[in-house]
Copies of this chain bind each other. A is one copy, B any other.
Amino acid sequence: MEGALREAVELGRSILGQGAVATYIPELAKADPSALAAAYCGMDGKTISAGDEGTKITVQSISKVASLGLALNICGEETVFSKVGVEPSADPFNSIMRLEMRAPHRPQNPLINSGAILVLSLLPFSDSTERLEAVLDTMRRMSGNEGLRVNEAVAASEKDTSDRNRSLGYFLRSVEAMDGDVENILDSYFRQCAIECSVEDLAAMGATLACGGVNPLTGEQVFPERTALILRALMMTCGLYDGSGDFAVRVGFPAKSGVGGGIMGSVPARAGVAVVGPALDKRGNSIGGVRTLEMLSESLSLRVL
């Protein structure tokens, strides 16, 4: 197992030079493009890692899985999916035009930015910090790591620059797809994106989803089995932005990526498998990470499709 991880990371490293770190959030531009690590967390909670496993990244879009799981837990499936679709989007993650173009004017799925912002608005919190704490708590329970925290420098950096997310938030309100105070909701959103974690945290989170919602490290049922199933299904069809179809061919199991360079994979009833590697491909996915997962999928026979 360790050998497989090491070998896969080495293969991933060989193409890091073709990627680049995200620059639209200034703090992310400081990440180390040469870092790469992988981790595997089995159903017994045992976690193995390889590569630059000390690397910390911010979860960015991976947090959308946690906040959606929380919303499904609190509000129920029916309420959530009356407000946001479950279909893949062919557009970039921050696209707005489909919201105007086609009725119903609601986000295509909860894993694009507009959908994730809307999901946050459904949570029954009026205080942005309470809302953030609920998502952070969910992520701590998914990872079994009580020490997860927001990187406030990154959070501030997102807040300063994220005009596109503001545009999405106000648009959603203008078409009555969303209620609530946009700035307040975005404040939680920017901070949940900036939650910092390691590759082992991500592997544990993926393992929790793989294990029907039960964290294999702590034994806690973080999500009901149905919620875990929905999250895995959405990760399979929409988890890697407009590279989801390519990932299904190359890797073949549910996963969610973030522009911080993390990818959280979940092989049902088998394992959580994760990578971190801040150098991104053109679609915003960790370029070395996808390559690493592709090799692991083959060498460890993780493919489910």
Contact = CB atoms under 8 A, between A and B. Distances in A.
Nearest to A98: B90
B237 A248 contact: yes
Interface in A191-241: 229-230, 232-234, 236-238
A236 B304 CA distance: 10
Given A88-B88, A88-B238, 13 more contacts: A87-B242, A87-B243, A87-B246, A163-B170, A163-B174, A166-B182, A229-B303, A232-B305, A233-B249, A234-B249, A237-B248, A268-B303, A268-B304
A257 interface: no
Contacts of A252: 229, 233
A304 to B, nearest CB: 4
B166 A170 contact: yes
Interface in A71-103: 85-91, 95-98, 100-101
B305 A268 contact: yes
A245 interface: yes
B97 A101 contact: yes
Given A97-B100, A229-B249, A304-B268, A244 B171 contact: no
A102 to B, nearest CB: 8
Interface of A: 85-91, 95-98, 100-101, 108-109, 163-164, 166-171, 173-174, 182, 229-230, 232-234, 236-238, 242-246, 248-249, 252, 254, 268, 303-305
Nearest to A240: B87
Contacts of A91: 90
A245 B245 CA distance: 12
A229 B101 CA distance: 34
Contacts of A96: 96-97, 100, 167, 171
Contact of A238 (B167, B182, B245): B245
Contact of A174 (B101, B164, B233): B164
